[in-house]
């Protein structure tokens, strides 16, 4: 979209700068798309004002300020599958959050509200849409989250990354844009030595990057702990993002060729040095890895709605763009699968080329185009 259209959106009005509220949280998969959208909006509208709304005590309350944005927290959590005290508190938390969301919307007066999933986006978008404010949902996964499904009739547009989302949302509201990714990944090309120095690793050895998600993946962590001697025997050095929940348990494995971290704040460096990647198959991770274009072994989480991580991974496996090993198959198959990829340069190139073909690097811009259309209309 050109600058002329951007001026139409904000009208060159010296009195009122555009205002945006974004809400998404609980996991990095909801937070980073929201930040990417905010960054693109800010690039197009430098005078715009931004406010994030998250759930108190969740990771967005830390990560959003680190990205340079203000955030307010709602007292909200999701329903537990079992009957617990938390579930009994849910109606009270929901009423509290709706009340606070109403106050936030009244005070901030947004021109548009964007929800990327997570508990806090429910009360916020319900209030905003009820007041006629243009609202956009961004659904990352092939299987829609409960908050977004509940909001489907209230919002104006729903941006998705997969075909077949008419199963969850009204078809006339769906726009296939792909998933937003961090801007520094789209222009990946960092100096490899600089990136290795950042992690305290040396040149000349292949590097394995292990990604278990922002909170961590128990089964992947168990696998890596068991395979460190195996990787050492292959001459592989490891960057192991074990997750916040598991860092205390696994930090003892830190060594000259093994760097254990709870969270990777410099994903651009991590992707630059990773010659091979082991990852969960959450939607945001898959979108990023398509852009990064490195050989990937997906180990999907089996503990997600409708096993959607396996479906995400299989979409790439069918295109010969990635390898997948299920959690139950790790003990029997992992060594053989990894070694086959490690020893074949041809296989590595093939996987890298094929996964890059599936990238949608303009997703963030496409989503912001939709937001601007709503404001204009």
SS3 71: strand
Q: What residues form DSSP beta bridges with 255?
A: 258
pLDDT for the residue 11: 47
SS3 73: strand
Q: Give start-end residues of each CATH 3.40.50.2000 domain in the chain.
A: 3-180+361-376, 185-357
pLDDT for the residue 221: 97
Binding residues: 27-29, 141, 182, 214, 309
Binding residues for UDP-N-acetyl-alpha-D-glucosamine: 27-29, 141, 182, 214, 309
Q: What residues form DSSP beta bridges with 136?
A: 114, 157
Q: Does domain 185-357 have CATH number 3.30.470.10?
A: no
- Alpha-carbon distance 280 to 121, whole Å? 24
CB 199 within 8 A of CB 267: no
pLDDT for the residue 4: 36
Query: In the block, which residue shows the tokens 């790439």?
Result: 316
Instruction: For domain 3-180+361-376, give the fold.
Output: Rossmann fold (3.40.50)
Helix (H) or strand (E) holding 100: helix 85-108
What pLDDT, in 10s, does the model give residues 252-294?
999 999 999 999 988 889 999 999 999 999 988 999 999 999 9
SS3 239: strand
pLDDT for the residue 8: 44
Listed as ranges, residues in the chain with pLDDT below 70 are: 1-15, 78-88, 90, 183-190
| 203 CB-near residues (< 8 Å, 6+ apart) | 192, 193, 196
∠ CA 156-158-164 to the nearest 5 degrees? 135
pLDDT for the residue 2: 41
pLDDT for the residue 164: 86
pLDDT for the residue 350: 97
Backbone angles phi, psi at 253, to 5 degrees: -85, 0
């Amino acid at each position: 979209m050109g600058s002329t259209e951007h001026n139409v959106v904000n009208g060159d009005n010296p009195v009122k700068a555009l205002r945006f509220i974004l809400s998404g949280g609980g996991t990095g998969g909801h937070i980073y798309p929201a930040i990417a959208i905010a960054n693109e909006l800010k690039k197009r509208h430098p005078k715009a004002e931004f406010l994030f709304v998250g759930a108190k005590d969740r990771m967005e309350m830390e990560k959003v300020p680190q990205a340079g944005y203000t955030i307010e927290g709602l007292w909200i959590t999701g329903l537990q599958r079992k009957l617990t005290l938390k579930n009994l508190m849910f109606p009270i938390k929901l009423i509290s959050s709706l009340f606070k969301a109403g106050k936030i919307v009244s005070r901030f007066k947004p021109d548009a509200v964007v929800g990327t999933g997570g508990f806090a986006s429910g009360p916020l978008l319900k209030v905003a849409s009820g007041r006629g404010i243009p609202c956009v949902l961004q659904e990352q996964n092939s299987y829609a989250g409960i908050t977004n499904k509940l909001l489907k009739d209230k919002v104006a547009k729903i941006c998705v990354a997969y075909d077949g989302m008419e199963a969850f949302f009204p078809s006339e509201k769906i726009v296939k844009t792909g998933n937003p990714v961090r801007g520094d990944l789209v222009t990946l090309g960092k100096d490899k030595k600089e990136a290795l120095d950042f992690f305290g690793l040396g040149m000349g050895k292949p590097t394995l990057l292990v990604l278990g998600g922002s909170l961590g993946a128990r089964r992947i962590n168990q696998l890596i702990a068991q395979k460190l001697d195996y990787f050492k025997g292959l001459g592989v050095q490891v960057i192991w993002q074990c997750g916040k929940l598991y860092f205390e348990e696994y930090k003892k494995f830190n060594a000259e060729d093994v760097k254990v971290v709870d969270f990777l704040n410099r994903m651009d460096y991590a992707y630059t040095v990773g010659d091979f990647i082991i990852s969960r198959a959450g939607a945001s991770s898959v979108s990023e890895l398509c852009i990064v274009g490195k050989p990937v072994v997906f180990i999907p989480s089996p503990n997600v709605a409708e096993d959607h991580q396996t479906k995400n991974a299989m979409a790439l496996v069918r295109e010969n763009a990635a390898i997948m090993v299920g959690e139950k198959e790790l003990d029997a198959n992992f060594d053989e699968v990894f070694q086959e990829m490690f020893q074949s340069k041809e296989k590595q190139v093939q996987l890298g080329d094929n996964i890059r073909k599936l990238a949608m690097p303009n997703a963030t811009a496409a989503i912001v185009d939709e937001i601007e259309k709503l404001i204009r209309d």
